[in-house]
Amino acid sequence: MNGNKKTLLEVKNLETSFSTWEGMVHAVNGVSFKLSEGETLGIVGESGCGKSVTVLSLLRLIQSPPGKIVNGTAFFNGKDLMKMTEKELNEVRGSQISLIFQDPMTFFNPVLTIGEQVMEPLKLHLGVSEADAQARAIEILNMVGISNPEERLKDYPYQFSGGMRQRAMIAMALICSPQILIADEPTTALDVTVQAQIVDLVKKLRDELGMSIIWITHDLGIVAGLVDRVAVMYAGYIVETADVMELYKNPRHPYTIGLLGSLPRLDETERRKLASIDGIPPVLFRSASTCPFAPRCPYRIDRCFNENPMLRNVGDGHEIACWVDVVNHKEQV
C-alpha cells in the first residue's frame, strides 16, 4: 500500500546498548525501517527483543546511563532526530510524535488528575489557556469513548479502570494531533475483550485523524486488521519485514514461522517453547558475527554461526535476514 506515499520517518542503522554489570547488552543492533504518511507499522517479537528500546531510542528517551544510542539516524520531516538539540526534540515529543505505553497505571502520574495530565502537552506545546485546554481535553476524551469527560477530568488515574486509563492515555497522546503515534504494547496489560476495543478505537481514530502509527505487540493476531506492514524483531535485529497479509500467508524467516505457530516441521512442544521464552536472551551479549537465532533454529547450517545474515529482499517488499530458503529448505546466496 505504500510506495507512492511520502516517507515520514526513516530510521537507519539504529543501534542502542546498555552497559550493565554483566557486560554490554546490545539491545538494538542496526535497525532500519521506513514509515509513510498514514501507514501503520507493526513491530512484533518476544519479550526482551528490543522493541521498546527501539522506539524509545527514536525520541532519545533511553535512560542514560546505562543506555546509549551508539549509531544511527532517524529522519523525521527531513531532520535527524538523533542530531537535534534537546530543545528541538522537546518540540517534537508529545506534539508531532507521541507515545502510549503498556501499563497505563504506572505511566500515569498517580498524584495528578487525568485532566491535568491530558492537558499538559497542549499547554506545553501550544500554550493554550486553561479554558481552551479543558474544552479540547473534553472533546478528545469524548472521542476516545470516555463518557462524562467534564467530571472525569478531575479524577485520578487509579479511579479509572484499566481500559479507561488506556483510552485516557491515547487521548493524552493525540491531544496535539501528532503525525506519528507510537504505541508500545498498549493492550498487553488489558483483558482480551478490552484489547479488541482499544484496537478498534485506534483504527477509528486513525481514519479520522490520519496519523501514522507504529504499533508494538507480541501478539500478531490482535492487530492483523490494524497494521499495514510488519517488522519482526529478534534479539535487537529486524529479521523479517513484509506487508501484513504477505507475512501471514507466506512467512519466510524461521523465527517468524515459529512465532506464527505454523512451522511445519516442529512438533507441538517445541513450538510452544519457542513462543514462550522470555527474559534476557543470552544472545544480546553475543558477538555480531553469528545469526542471533541460530541456536534455536531448526534450519540452521554452518554458515549461520560464521556470518550474520543481512536483510535481503525476497520480492515485493518482503525482506528476511536468513541464509536459508525455508520454504524450499535450501541455502541461498
Partner 1 sequence: MTTYIIRRILLVPLLLFGVTILIFGMLQFLQPAERAALYIRDIPKNPEALESVIRNYGLDQPLYVQYWNWLVGRKNLTTGEISGGILRGDFGYSRVGSEPVIDMIKNRFPATLELALWAFLPIIGVGVWLGVESATHHNKFIDQFARVFSIIGYSFPVFVFGLLALMLFYGKLQWFPPGRFSNWVLAEINTGTFTQYTKIMTLDALLNWRLDIFWDAIRHLILPVITLSYVSWASFLRVTRSSMLESLHQDYMVTAKAKGLPERDAVRRHALPNALIPVVTLAGFTVVMLLGGVVITETIFNFPGIGSAAAEAAAQLDVVTVLGFALFNGFILIFANLVSDILYAVVDPRVRLSSL
Ligand X SMILES: Nc1ncnc2c1ncn2[C@@H]1O[C@H](COP(=O)(O)OP(=O)(O)OP(=O)(O)O)[C@@H](O)[C@H]1O
Q: Which residues bind ligand X (CB under 6 A)?
A: 18, 20, 25, 27, 45, 47-53, 63, 66-67, 185, 218, 280, 284
Out of Mg ion, ligand X, partner 1, none, which partner does residue 120 contact, by CB within 5 to 8 A per kind? partner 1
Q: Which residues contact 216 (CB under 8 A, 6 or more apart)?
A: 42, 43, 44, 51, 52, 55, 182, 183, 184, 185
Tell me how many degrees the CA angle 5-7-12 measures, rounded to the nearest 5: 145
Residue with the three cell numbers 515485493: 316
Q: Is 125 in the site for partner 1 (CB under 8 A)?
A: yes
Contact segment (CB under 8 A) with partner 1 among 11-19, 105-113, 145-153, 264-272 equals 105-113
Please select the residue that binds partner 1; options are 19, 64, 77, 159, rule is CB under 8 A: 159
**What is the rounded CA–CA span in Å between residue 93 and residue 76?**
12
Q: Is 56 in the site for partner 1 (CB under 8 A)?
A: yes
**What is the rounded CA–CA span in Å between residue 86 and residue 99?**
17
* Secondary structure class of 34 (helix, strand, coil): strand
Q: Is 130 in the site for partner 1 (CB under 8 A)?
A: no
In this structure, what DSSP letter does residue 308 have?
Answer: P
Out of Mg ion, ligand X, partner 1, none, which partner does residue 258 contact, by CB within 5 to 8 A per kind? none
**What is the rounded CA–CA span in Å between residue 256 and residue 262?**
9
Please give the single-letter amino acid code of residue 75.
F
Please select the residue that binds partner 1; options are 20, 64, 109, 262, rule is CB under 8 A: 109
- In the complex with partner 1, the residue whose CB is nearer, 104 or 236, is 104
8 Å CB contact between 214 and 57: no
CB of 90 to partner 1, least distance (A): 4
- Give Cα separations from 221 to 224, 258, 309 (angstroms): 5, 14, 27
Out of Mg ion, partner 1, ligand X, none, which partner does residue 276 contact, by CB within 5 to 8 A per kind? none
CB of 109 to partner 1, least distance (A): 4
- In the complex with ligand X, the residue whose CB is nearer, 20 or 161, is 20
- In the complex with ligand X, the residue whose CB is nearer, 2 or 188, is 188
94-113: b or e for each residue (b if 16 or more CB lie within 10 Å)?
Answer: bbbbbbbbbbbbebbeeeeb
Site string for Mg ion, 36-55 (x = CB under 5 A): ----------------x---
Q: Is 41 in the site for partner 1 (CB under 8 A)?
A: no
- In the complex with ligand X, the residue whose CB is nearer, 45 or 149, is 45
Out of partner 1, ligand X, Mg ion, none, which partner does residue 95 contact, by CB within 5 to 8 A per kind? partner 1
Please give the single-letter amino acid code of residue 289.
S
- In the complex with ligand X, the residue whose CB is nearer, 50 or 121, is 50
Residue 221, classified by CB atoms within 10 Å of its CB into exposed (0-12), middle (13-18) or buried (19+), is: exposed
Interacting residues toward Mg ion by CB under 5 A: 52
List residues binding partner 1 (CB under 8 A). 56, 59, 61, 63, 86-87, 90-95, 98-99, 101, 103, 106-113, 117, 120-121, 124-125, 156, 158-159, 172
